[in-house]
Amino acid sequence: MIVAAAIPSGVVAQFGGGNDVETVRLNRIGRYATGEALGGAEIVAFHAPRNRLFVVNSGAGQVEVLDLTEPSSPTQAGVLNASDLVGAESDVVSSVGGTNSVDIDDTLVAAAIEAEPATADGAVAFYDPSTLEFVNAVSVGPLPDKVTIGPDGNYVVVANEGEPSGSTDPAGSVSVIDVSSSARDASVETATFTDFDGQEAALREEGVHLVSSGAGEAVASTVIEPEYVTVAPGGERAFVSIQENNAIATIDLTSATVERIDGLGFKHFSLPGNELDTSDVDGSSFQNWPIHGMYQPDAIDTYEVGGDTFVVTANEGDAKDFEVSVLKNLELDPAGFDLSENAYVDSVEELKSPENLGNMEVNEAAMAEFANGENGYTDIYAIGGRSFSVWQVEDDGLRLAFDSGSRFERTFAERYPGGHVNVVESGPETESVELGVVGDRTFAFVGQEKGSGIATYDVTSPENPEYVQMNVNRDYSVSEDDLAAAAEANPRSDEPARAGDFAPEGVYFVPASESPIRNPLVCVGFETSGTVGVFEVTPVTDTS
């Protein structure tokens, strides 16, 4: 943990319980096709008073509003042209780009909107969820990504990713928008990472990945890129995934400052339970290998158990183009690898063969950062953790309470061998995670981008989550390349919808108290196919 300032965190609330529930079952009961491939359905958010689902359709440059009064038959109830409205009715952004994210509560819609170019300051715009009328917009940092409304409605928090483009590399930041009076009177404070400049070496010791695409040394405030925001149940702290940097930042919302940065360290694929399939030439084969995985979470969520706070992470992994290499093309230092007890290879040359690790994509920039020996690289660093994890928030940092290990890949390979061949090089790319309380139990609904599955885990006990179910609706004979070609030939092609649901990007849990039917719902935006899936969550009270 690297601390910027000693700011006490707020008191967080306990999730409530209810009737005894043993487990749940998910069943897809509704589906909606936007008609837009490659970005047609991304982040989703539900407005309970009107039974409306707001869906970011970046392919069409709009937010689609779906009527879920009958969840089995979603219909379009309207379109929110968020970017157009900001450009026409507000001067906070001189040139408006696309809408990246949306969140909602009973009285407010918040949309994160990037500028054109994306390296300029973006905006968060507010709308009335019933009339869809524009309310206000405020300026935030470059490339605002995930926007989140806190549980008490006082703060709207957005991760400003600040991705580089060309020679411009804007600083990443987190904007905290105070809407406690009203959205019309919103005020903005932006938390930056400048207090960590000069602490790069200490951050790396904690497993934070900091590299620059330029010739100079990496400066923390410039290369840190916030990705996703979740607000703790008490509403006074936010946790922000810094995906490419393999870290999580804690934001004090009352002061709009970065409280600390926690590096997530590395997952050791050499340990039992962390086997992975690394080769696309030998069928399904799970083995332990001398590989370090950076967790690099995308979506995160948070909950409390017995007074302790836990952060749940979807360990997708991500890297900039200049960081990625194929292992067979790299020099490995023979002295850096003890293969005496390895059951599969005796030398680094064998390690680099296609049937072993040779075709695997790795983060060469991380290898140069953490493992650059005199005669080649002394360690291998993979992209992502191929899993989801539960981290306990402690006074001195984050403690790994649970990781799903190789369970996602193994389950997927057993049930969908035809799809498994598509995920070998990168793993399932765990993209999204959402927590939901059903009865007296808490469940994590985890989306896997490459495999397109939705996995359900019971995380009531953070140290011992239990696998429940995996849902997949996809024709694996149709590849993502096929969909890309169809979309290029005809952006409104129905091919993605006919091929099933590809790449869950956003997941939203609707509790029973807000659901239009008696059971909770899980709503999923599938990015590549441009479809929305509506799942009924059925409580199971007796598994005997």
3-state secondary structure of 323: helix
Q: How far is CA 497 from the centre of its chain?
A: 23
CA–CA distance, 54 with 149 (Å, rounded to integer): 14
Range of the domain at 510: 2-318+384-540
Report the pLDDT value the prediction gives residue 13, as an integer from 0 to 100: 29
Strands 466-471, 504-510: pairing kind: unpaired
Report the pLDDT value the prediction gives residue 8, as an integer from 0 to 100: 28
| Closest among 534, 479, 528 to 505, alpha carbons compared | 528
Strand partners, 393: 398
What amino acid is encoded at 293 in this protein?
G
Return the minimum-mean-pLDDT range out of 160-164, 243-247, 407-411.
407-411
Q: Taking 50 as the threshold, does the pLDDT of residue 29 lie above it?
A: yes
Please state the domain count of the chain. Answer: 1
CA–CA distance, 68 with 48 (Å, rounded to integer): 9
What amino acid is encoded at 275 in this protein?
E
Q: What is the mean pLDDT of residues 155-175?
A: 94
3-state secondary structure of 484: helix
| CATH code for the domain of 314 | 2.130.10.10
Report the pLDDT value the prediction gives residue 221, as an integer from 0 to 100: 96
218 domain residue, yes or no: yes
- Sort 27 into a burial class: Cβ within 10 Å, 0-12 / 13-18 / 19+: exposed
CA–CA distance, 52 with 56 (Å, rounded to integer): 13
CA–CA distance, 454 with 299 (Å, rounded to integer): 14
With the C-alpha atoms ordered 23, 27, 33, 36, is the resulting torsion angle positive or negative?
A: positive
Q: What is the largest CA-CA distance in the chain?
A: 68
| Closest among 105, 52, 57 to 82, alpha carbons compared | 57
pLDDT in tens, 309-359: 999 999 999 999 999 999 999 999 999 999 998 889 999 999 999 999 999
Report the residue count for the chain. 544
58 domain residue, yes or no: yes
Q: What is the mean pLDDT of residues 461-485?
A: 89
User: Residue 85 belongs to what H/E stretch?
Assistant: helix 82-89
286 domain residue, yes or no: yes
343 domain residue, yes or no: no
Say if residues 92 and 138 touch (Cβ distance below 8 Å): yes
How many Cα atoms sit within 13 Å of 146 on the Cβ side? Answer: 26
407 domain residue, yes or no: yes
Instruction: Annotate 513-531 with DSSP letters as a single string.
Output: GG-SSSS-EEEEEETTTTE
Q: Taking 60 as the threshold, does the pLDDT of residue 15 lie above it?
A: no
pLDDT in tens, 88-101: 777 788 788 889 99
Task: Give the confidence band of 283 by pLDDT, cuts at 50, 70, 90.
Answer: low
Q: How far is CA 455 from the centre of its chain?
A: 14
Q: Which residue has the higher pLDDT, 544 or 535?
A: 535
Q: Taking 60 as the threshold, does the pLDDT of residue 11 lie above it?
A: no
* Phi, psi dihedrals of residue 251, rounded to the nearest 5°: -115, 125
Cβ neighbours for 391, distance < 8 A, ≥ 6 positions apart = 248, 264, 310, 311, 312, 313, 398, 399, 400, 401
327 domain residue, yes or no: no
pLDDT in tens, 135-160: 999 999 999 999 999 999 999 999 99
Q: Taking 90 as the threshold, does the pLDDT of residue 86 lie above it?
A: no
Say if residues 490 and 501 touch (Cβ distance below 8 Å): no
Strand partners, 257: 252
With the C-alpha atoms ordered 11, 144, 449, 278, is the resulting torsion angle positive or negative?
A: negative
Task: Give the confidence band of 66 by pLDDT, cuts at 50, 70, 90.
Answer: very high
CA–CA distance, 175 with 365 (Å, rounded to integer): 29
360 domain residue, yes or no: no
Q: Taking 90 as the threshold, does the pLDDT of residue 470 lie above it?
A: yes
Say if residues 402 and 389 touch (Cβ distance below 8 Å): yes
Provide the terminal-to-terminal Cα distance of the chain, rounded to the nearest Å.
45
User: Residue 247 belongs to what H/E stretch?
Assistant: strand 247-252
Residue reference for tokens 């397109």: 452
Residue reference for tokens 């302790």: 308
CA–CA distance, 382 with 273 (Å, rounded to integer): 17
Report the pLDDT value the prediction gives residue 17, as an integer from 0 to 100: 37
In degrees to the nearest 10, what's the CA dihedral of 311, 315, 316, 319? 100
- Other C-beta atoms lying within 10 Å of the C-beta of residue 70: 14
C-alpha distance from residue 409 to each of 156, 387, 391, 442 (Å)? 36, 8, 21, 23
What is the residue-averaged pLDDT of the chain? 91
Rg over alpha carbons for the chain, rounded to the nearest Å, is 22
Cβ neighbours for 282, distance < 8 A, ≥ 6 positions apart = 355
b/e map of 289-301 (b: 16 or more CB within 10 Å)? bbbbbbbbbbbbb
Report the pLDDT value the prediction gives residue 446, as an integer from 0 to 100: 98
Report the pLDDT value the prediction gives residue 12, as an integer from 0 to 100: 32
* Phi, psi dihedrals of residue 194, rounded to the nearest 5°: -65, -25
328 domain residue, yes or no: no
CA–CA distance, 435 with 361 (Å, rounded to integer): 31
CA–CA distance, 327 with 469 (Å, rounded to integer): 34
- Report the 3 state secondary structure along 207-225: CCCCCCCCCCCCCHHHHCC
